[in-house]
Amino acid sequence: MEPYFNISYHQQNRKLVDLVENRTAYTLNNAELNIYETHKTAEKVALQFTNPVLASMIRGKKVMHLTDLPSFDFLPGESVIVPSHEIMQIDFPEAKEDNPTQCLALAISQPQIKKITDELNEHFPLVDDKNGWNFTESNFYLTNDNGINHLVSHLIYIFTENNKAKDVFADLVLKELIIRLMQTKARTILLENFQQNINTNRLSYAVKYIHDNLYRTLSVKELSEKACMSEPNFYRCFKQQFGISPVEYINQKRIELAKKLLQTIETNIADICFSCGFNNHNHFIKTFKKYTQTTPANYRKKFLNDISVGSLKNLPLGYVLNSQAF
């Protein structure tokens, strides 16, 4: 099994001392990259850092136990932010000598985080949010974010290469990483609670309007009017706060809805196209493939193949499995 992130240079030079959470540390001025390898099964292994940490899985599987979160499987490409001094309890149910579990922990200095959050709060304040930008006050779970994973990959290269300017390179990438993580957090918190915030937050109101009107054409102009903001300001604030444009968000939600509808036993794909707000079948297929790397027809075929024939026989026509659209 190939690692999710490229750590080949690390493996050429690291020393294997411990079979459980063997640690190799790479330290720069504002961050420390720790790569852990476990070669045998273990339970309730504790880790703690004095700075906030972004932990990302490289290979294998862990079971993570964090305060205020249910235990969860931690798989390659997934990441979790852990506050400073938080104790992580970790199980390694599948680690083997010939197939070790590998994980990285990127600890970022709090002064560096504060510098960036202060800059954002001064120049790009959050809309209708008195708390402002903050990196983390609690555990925050991420899943396979391509932008974040790309930056983590680049940081692994910077930390492990032999370059005298690596501190300069790392600080540039760390700034983008911190901002993207905060955008992801702000987006998740706002979108999880937009129903409660529609009367106090203009972006929450716009998000609810998007969810209620996915079936028809939506424009940035219309959304900005609903949010009582100018069109340029709405677009800028939305992208700044969520990390994606309003159009990208609308397309993401439409594709999520389309995937649910494609799980219907008998629903015409053309009808699904129009039900999700697309007015052109070819555009629907192109957008669906962009977000899922497959076509609607192939997605449906794979979904049906993954379900036993017996479980489908008793379902009524038009039944949607797991039918919550959002």
What is the DSSP secondary structure assignment for residue 104, as one 8-state letter? Answer: E
Which of the pair, 316 or 133, is modelled with greater confidence?
133
The pLDDT score that the predictor gives to residue 195 is 67
pLDDT tens-digit readout, 117-149: 999 888 888 888 777 888 877 777 777 788 899
pLDDT tens-digit readout, 246-255: 999 999 999 9
pLDDT tens-digit readout, 52-77: 999 999 999 999 999 888 999 999 98
Query: What's the whole-model pTM score?
Result: 0.74
Rounded Cα–Cα distance for residues 298 and 301 (Å): 5
Work out the average pLDDT over 110-121: 92
The pLDDT score that the predictor gives to residue 128 is 83
The pLDDT score that the predictor gives to residue 164 is 92
C-alpha separations of 281 from 168, 182, 252 in Å: 48, 36, 17
Burial 5-16 (b: 16+ CB within 10 A, else e): bebeebeeeeee
The pLDDT score that the predictor gives to residue 33 is 96
Work out the average pLDDT over 3-20: 85
Burial of 42 (0-12, 13-18, 19+ CB in 10 A): middle
| List of residues 6+ apart from 307 with CB closer than 8 A | 321
Burial of 125 (0-12, 13-18, 19+ CB in 10 A): middle
Rounded Cα–Cα distance for residues 99 and 37 (Å): 10
Whether pLDDT at 311 is above 60: no
Domains and CATH numbers, the chain: 8-188 (2.60.120.280), 195-243 (1.10.10), 248-313 (1.10.10.60)
Size of the chain in residues: 326
C-alpha separations of 32 from 176, 227, 242, 246 in Å: 16, 42, 27, 35
Whether pLDDT at 321 is above 50: no
pLDDT band at 265 (very low <50, low <70, confident <90, very high): low
What is the share, in percent, of the chain residues with pLDDT greater than 70?
90
Work out the average pLDDT over 243-269: 89
The pLDDT score that the predictor gives to residue 314 is 44
β-strand pairing of 79-82 with 53-59:
antiparallel
Per the CB < 8 A criterion, the answer to whether 16 and 37 are in contact is yes
pLDDT tens-digit readout, 188-205: 777 676 666 677 788 888
Rounded Cα–Cα distance for residues 209 and 201 (Å): 13
Work out the average pLDDT over 257-271: 85
The pLDDT score that the predictor gives to residue 313 is 44
The pLDDT score that the predictor gives to residue 13 is 79
How many degrees, rounded to 5, is the angle at CA 250 between CA 272 and CA 122?
170
Of 147-156, 209-218, 263-272, the poorest mean pLDDT is in 263-272
Mean residue pLDDT of the chain comes to 86
Per the CB < 8 A criterion, the answer to whether 133 and 182 are in contact is yes
Whether pLDDT at 256 is above 80: yes
Which of the pair, 154 or 144, is modelled with greater confidence?
154
C-alpha separations of 262 from 42, 233, 276 in Å: 41, 36, 11
